[in-house]
Amino acid sequence: MARKPNYGFQKQQQAIKKQKKREEKAEKKRLRREAAQESDSQNEDVAADDEVT
């Protein structure tokens, strides 16, 4: 007799995979935002230096 597939386990694994993918995407998005803010602050510092001289 063949074993019955455990659909509950498969669904749980799929949900775990989906959650991990969301977390990775959110992390990438957070890093992009931080990099953009960092470059903006550097550009503001350069602009402030130009105004002083």
Domain count, the chain: 1
Question: Is the entire prediction scored with pTM above 0.75?
Answer: no
Does residue 1 lie in a domain region? no
Phi and psi (nearest 5°) for 16? Answer: -65, -45
Does residue 23 lie in a domain region? yes
pLDDT tens for each residue of 4-46 = 999 999 999 999 999 999 999 999 999 999 999 888 877 766 6
Tell me the two tokens of residue 8: 């509950």
If one counts every other C-beta atom within 10 angstroms of the C-beta of residue 41, the result is 10
Domain span at residue 25 reads: 16-53
Does residue 11 lie in a domain region? no
Tell me the two tokens of residue 22: 């969301």
Does residue 46 lie in a domain region? yes
Does residue 42 lie in a domain region? yes
Amino acid found at 41: S
C-alpha span between 2 and 51 (Å, rounded): 79
C-alpha span between 40 and 46 (Å, rounded): 10
Does residue 8 lie in a domain region? no
